[in-house]
Amino acid sequence: MKPSPEIKVYPKRPALDARPLERRVGLIILATDHTSEPDFRRMVASERIGVYVARIPYANPTTPENLRKMQPALTAGAALILPDEPLDAICYSCTSASVVIGDAEIETAIQAAKPGVSVVTPPMAGVRGLRALGASKISILTPYTVETSRPMAAYFAARGFDIASFTCLGFEDDREMARISPASLVELARDVTDASADALFVSCTALRGALAVTGMEKAIDRPVVTSNQASAWNCLRLCGDETAHPEFGRLMTLPLPRD
């Protein structure tokens, strides 16, 4: 048996970069989420921007009551993302829960763990995206039930949008929502967009809408904003990344408007 080699400690400490990556985006997602993480890896992550993910407990069906139950987990979820290190932005990736819980309440819960961080929710990002596109009259598509869709309609109406049409698909399980094909979303966009609408908003972070945006825009000949696309766009702009990505829709070519 050969003797163990002598292990030496290198006498000089290597220089350290300020950060492994220049910018940091936190992402809080549902335990059942199939879509947000791949979408953010596709649209946000780069050699300059890191995406750091925490999952929080969630149990179907997707009802307002179940969605609201996630609120107490938001602070703990945020605290798990690079503890004691600052983030440039953090997104809570659930559109329907953000509407039910409220943007302000989500911001308070997340900032309890990450003071001062810019907080993004999908409906908030959707509003900013629609305004950046100059849309005031919109159609909305959700995969939810009528019960879960009602707060969504109220959210956008309260922010000054004229809702020309609102269509839901009646799904109760977000894992099934994730199985709706991008091609099906293109056909749905064509069927549900009102002729008078300036744009279509496709709600739900479980949907693979980001993969279908350009197809939907071509099908209806107007802009489309989806939950994950809008959230990714908002986070990129908060990180100072103004790069245009037309492959993810017209929104991804625009700057973030001033609130």
Write out pLDDT tens, residues 211-254.
999 999 999 999 999 999 999 999 999 999 999 999 999 999 99
Taking Cα atoms as reference points, which of 151, 155, 81 lies closest to residue 111?
81
pLDDT in tens, 22-78: 999 999 999 999 999 999 999 999 999 999 999 999 999 999 999 999 999 999 999
Q: In terms of domains, do 183 and 241 share one?
A: no
pTM metric for this prediction: 0.95
Residue 18 maps to a domain: no
Q: In terms of domains, do 131 and 221 share one?
A: yes
Count: domains in the chain: 2
Q: In terms of domains, do 128 and 222 share one?
A: yes
Q: In terms of domains, do 116 and 188 share one?
A: no
By CB neighbour count within 10 A (0-12 exposed, 13-18 middle, 19+ buried), where does 257 fall? middle
What's the rounded mean pLDDT across residues 172-180?
98
Domain extent at residue 100: 23-121+230-245
Residue 1: predicted pLDDT: 78
Q: In terms of domains, do 132 and 202 share one?
A: yes
> Tell me, what CATH number does 133's domain have?
3.40.50.12500
Q: In terms of domains, do 235 and 111 share one?
A: yes
Q: In terms of domains, do 78 and 163 share one?
A: no
Residue 84 DSSP label: T
Cα 56 to the center of its chain, rounded Å: 15
Residue 10 maps to a domain: no
d(CA 6, CA 11): 15
Residue 24 in 3-state DSSP?
A: strand
Q: In terms of domains, do 177 and 110 share one?
A: no
Q: In terms of domains, do 157 and 129 share one?
A: yes
Residue 259: predicted pLDDT: 63
Residue 15 maps to a domain: no
Residue 255 maps to a domain: no
Residue 257 maps to a domain: no
List 162's β-bridge partners, or say none: 137
Residue 2 maps to a domain: no
Which residue reads 């749905």 in tokens?
A: 188
Q: In terms of domains, do 128 and 220 share one?
A: yes
Tell me the pairing of strands 23-30 and 89-92.
parallel
Q: In terms of domains, do 39 and 103 share one?
A: yes
Q: In terms of domains, do 130 and 184 share one?
A: yes
